[in-house]
Amino acid sequence: TPLSPQTRAARVRVGKGDKPVTYEKAHAPHYIAHRKGWLSQHTGNLAGEPGAAERALEDAFLRRFLYGTFPGILADEVVLKRRANLLVICAVLVRGLAPAKLYFLVGYAETLLAHFYKCPVRLELQTVPTKVVYKYL
C-alpha cells in the first residue's frame, strides 16, 4: 500500500539546503532492506526465537551509553551485531580525540558493558576525518 503523506517517522524534513545529513538519516524507514541495512542484528525476531524485546531494550541502552561515552565524536549511528554470546559494537568516530584517549574509552566501555550484560563485548572502531555527508537538506 502506498504511504500516507502524514507519516513523520525517522524522516528529515527538507529545509533550506544547509543541513548536512548522513546516508542513514537521509533515508526514510521504508527504504530499509532496499537502500539501507539494519542497525541491530540479532536472531530475536526470527520465528520461534525468544528475547526480541530484551534485545530492543539493550540496544536502546547501548546507543545512549555510547552517545555519552564518546561525546560529540560519533559520526553515525552505531551498528550492533550479536553472534552467539558475543556483542560486537561497530562505531564510526570522527578523529576528535587523541588515539590514547580513544583507547582508554574503548577499554572502559568494553569492560563496563561486559560486566553489565554478562557477555563478552567487543568494540570495533573506524575513524573518519569528518562526518560523512550524503546530502544537504
Partner 1 sequence: VLQTLASTVNRVSSSVDRGNGLNCLTHALTLHAGGSYFYFGVNERWDFYNCFLQGFHFWSTRFDPTAAHYMFQDDPFLMPRNAANSRLFALSKESGRNAAKYIIKQFPQYFDKTFAEPNVPCLMPETLTPQVEGVSEEALKERIHLRRVKDSVDLFDQLIQAGTPVSLETTNSLLDLLCFYGDEESTTEKAGEEKEDLEEPGVNASEKATPKRQLERGSQSSGSRWRENNNAERIFKIMPERNAHSYCTMIRGMVKHGASAKAYDMYIDLLNERHKADVHTFNALITAVPSLKDRFLERWELAKVFLNHMAQQEVQPNLLTFNALLKTLRRCGGVGRSMSLLVIKEMEALDIEPSLATYDHLIFIFYRGVDLCSSGIISEVLDDVEKRSFTPQDPDDANFFATAMQACCDLKDIKLAYRLNKAMEKGDNWKFLDMDRLNAYWSKFFSLLCMMEQIDVVLKWYKEMSSSLFYPTPKNILDLLQALDAANHLEVIPSVWEDMKQLGFNRRQELLEEILSLMSREQHPEEIQLAFAKCAEDIKAVHEQTGREQAPLEWTGSALGHVALLFSRVGRTQDAWYVNMMEQFQQINRIPTDQVMDEFLNCAKQTNCPDEAIKLVKLAASLGLPSSQRLKSRMEKEFELSEKQK
Is residue 84 part of the contact set for partner 1 (CB under 8 A)?
A: no
Q: Which is nearer to partner 1, 26 or 62 (CB)?
A: 62
Residues in the chain: 137
Site map for partner 1, 104-123, x if CB under 8 A? xxxxxxxxx-xxx-xx----
Question: What is the spatial order of strands in the sheet that 86-94 belongs to?
Answer: 40-41, 79-83, 86-94, 121-128
Strands 135-136 and 20-21: antiparallel
Give me the least distance between CB of 23 and partner 1, in Å please. 20
Give me the least distance between CB of 117 and partner 1, in Å please. 8
Q: Say how far apart CA 25 and CA 114 lie, in whole Å.
A: 29
Q: Say how far apart CA 79 and CA 91 lie, in whole Å.
A: 6
Give me the least distance between CB of 36 and partner 1, in Å please. 24
Q: Which is nearer to partner 1, 21 or 125 (CB)?
A: 125
Please give the C-alpha separations between residue 94 and each of 36, 75, 86, 116, 130, in angstroms, as whole numbers. Answer: 22, 6, 25, 27, 6
Give me the least distance between CB of 99 and partner 1, in Å please. 5
Is residue 101 part of the contact set for partner 1 (CB under 8 A)?
A: yes
Is residue 74 part of the contact set for partner 1 (CB under 8 A)?
A: no
Residues near partner 1 (CB under 8 A): 95, 99-112, 114-116, 118-119, 124-127
